[in-house]
Amino acid sequence: MPLVNHRLILLIITLSLSKVQAQEQSPFITGTVSFSVMKGTIACDLVLSNLPKINNYVIRLNSGMNVHFFKDRKRGGGALYYDMDTKDSIGSDETKAYYLHENRGNPARYIPEELEIKYLGMYPVVGDSAHGYMGQDWRGNIAFNGYSLRAEGRQGDWYPILYDMDKRKLYSEVRYNIHVSCEDCSVLFVNGSTPVRAKQADLSNNQPREMSIFCGKFEASEDHGIWLLNSGMTPADKQRLIATASTYQAFYEKNFDIPYKGSLTFAQTRPTADPRYWGFSYYTSPTTFNVGVGPYAMQALFDKDHVRRNKQVMAHELAHYYFGTLLKSEGVFGSIMAEGFAEFLSFELTRNLEGDNISQSLLIDKKSSLTYFSNYQPLSRVRTENDYGNREYYLYYYAPILFLAIEKEIGEKAMWTWLKAMVNSRADVTDYSFLVTTFRNSVADKSIAARIEAKYLSSTDALKNALEELGIN
């Protein structure tokens, strides 16, 4: 539930939302994790098993972590030799990419059946301006803000993440059974299991999940299975948030006919960069992280000046369970799919649950922000991020506006047929041809489908056409 406009968010988030991943072969992680929110330290001794046999792989780990050793637990013996792959460029801003050898003179990459990795890291602790703010804060940052630790997997890789270089598959969703300890914490939360009020705990999870963490000294409350961490909200607003989230979740569940798995959690925390300028949020299923203070804090969710957009952003984040989590979307076109449809769904939900007027006024706000949007390609011609013209406008404005116009043309029923077909496909690759193929299959009249394709998907006038169709040109 980002309370901040995506304009700001997108300056910060640099990685595409999702990675392709096979559920059946999700790694299993055991071992110990201990850290200190006051000292900014993380020490891990983890064992990875149930790893797929991949020849051309790397193991990504946050570049602030110092590796003590890699070991083959089954075979025994000493530490394994390892190298670093400097060509692993995807999402490597935060990480180093390792590969191992079996210590028998064979130069090939080797994955043990049970791989132990012991490592530790130390990070800046940025409590307030007196400590000197960082230049930026972002999703993949391992952030110690004086009272908490916030770290995620897909981008920040605080835990080792296997990456298949050939298939471009990232194994960031894992099952785990780990012992977590933190002397200066009151709450421990590892995504996939429920938060605990303790300084140490055994936490386990049997559904593949991104192992994001949020631990520290803060209050935690639970109601109807929904957890609020450090929300700072009044009891009345907490009730309102839980009611809103439940209603929104139910809307998606009903329309997709797929239940949410896992209990929703909302985590609120302060950025490590200057909070006057930095605020963003992200979703690691089923948890929403909100990083911001003041008007960007969860506390301000229901402030009357921002409540419409804030609730829409909540709808956007919750939609990522379907577009982004169930349907993984990787790469340049995958980002359009995940963000474009999550934003589209937030309009769909808002129109249905909050009313036409509200969704229309949010749409007009969007349209008026597009003054400087130029130099972009139609969906059919997107090859690289350069074709977006502007990443934020393309993903969060252009694409959803096109999808809204398409819905207006084909009707809500056919639109949902299409949305469900995409999500139910669980496709590995969500490229342009996936978009078009699923669209054609969802529209009974082939000539209508062809006309819409030409008008919105391949036309350089697609945006103009869409705004006309929506009556906001």
**Between helices 399-410 and 356-368, what is the axis angle to 10°?**
140
Q: Name which of 121 and 324 has its Cβ closer to Zn ion.
A: 324
C-alpha–C-alpha distance, residues 162 and 208, integer Å:
14
Q: Which 3 state secondary structure label does DSSP give 192? A: coil
Distances in Å between the Cα of 384 and the Cα atoms of 10, 377, 390, 456 are 17, 10, 12, 19
76 contact partners, CB below 8 Å, separation of at least 6: none
Name the residue nearer to Zn ion (CB basis): 339 or 348.
Answer: 339
Site for Zn ion in 35-74 (CB under 5 A): none
Considering beta carbons, is residue 172 or 442 the nearer one to Zn ion?
172
Q: Are 40 and 144 in contact (CB under 8 A)?
A: yes
SS3 call for 27: coil
Least distance from C-beta 140 to Zn ion, angstroms? 15
Strand-pairing partners, residue 97, are 60
Looking at beta carbons only, is 80 or 342 nearer to Zn ion?
342
Q: How far is the CB of 139 from Zn ion (least distance, A)?
A: 11
> Nearest approach, Cβ of 222 to Zn ion (angstroms)?
25
Site for Zn ion in 7-36 (CB under 5 A): none
Pick the closer one to Zn ion by CB: 339 or 409.
339
> What is the distance, to the nearest Å, from the Cα of residue 97 to the centroid of all Cα atoms in its chain?
21
Name the minimum Å distance from CB 4 to Zn ion.
Answer: 12
Residue 147 DSSP code = S
CB-wise, 126 or 336, nearer to Zn ion? 336
Give the binding-site size for Zn ion (rule: CB under 5 A). 2
DSSP state of 339: H
Closer Cβ to Zn ion, 328 or 455, answer by number? 328
Q: How far is the CB of 461 from Zn ion (least distance, A)?
A: 27
Q: How far is the CB of 147 from Zn ion (least distance, A)?
A: 27
* Least Cβ distance, residue 325 to Zn ion (angstroms): 11
Residue 294 CA: distances (Å) to CA of 10, 277, 290, 291: 19, 11, 12, 11
Asked if 392 contacts 7 with a C-beta cutoff of 8 angstroms, the reply is yes
Q: Which residue has the tokens 């207006």?
A: 408
CA distances from residue 421 to 203, 257, 304, 443 in whole angstroms, order as listed = 35, 12, 37, 11
Restricting to residues 307-366, which ones interact with Zn ion according to CB under 5 A? Answer: 339, 342
Cβ at position 320, least distance to Zn ion in Å: 6
DSSP label at residue 366:
H
* CB 456 within 8 Å of CB 466: yes
Cα(182)–Cα(95) distance, integer angstroms: 24
Of the pair 112, 340, the CB lying nearest Zn ion is at 340
Q: Which of residues 228-287 bind Zn ion (CB under 5 A)?
A: none
Distance of closest approach, residue 268 Cβ to Zn ion, in angstroms: 18
CA neighbours closer than 13 Å in the CB half-sphere of residue 75: 16
Q: Which is nearer to Zn ion, 90 or 342 (CB)?
A: 342
Nearer to Zn ion, 79 or 332 (CB): 332
DSSP state of 108: S
Asked whether the beta carbons of 301 and 315 are under 8 A apart, the reply is no
**DSSP 3-state of 213:** strand
CB of 342 to Zn ion, least distance (A): 5
At 278, give phi and psi (nearest 5°): -115, 125
Residues of this chain that bind Zn ion (CB under 5 A): 339, 342
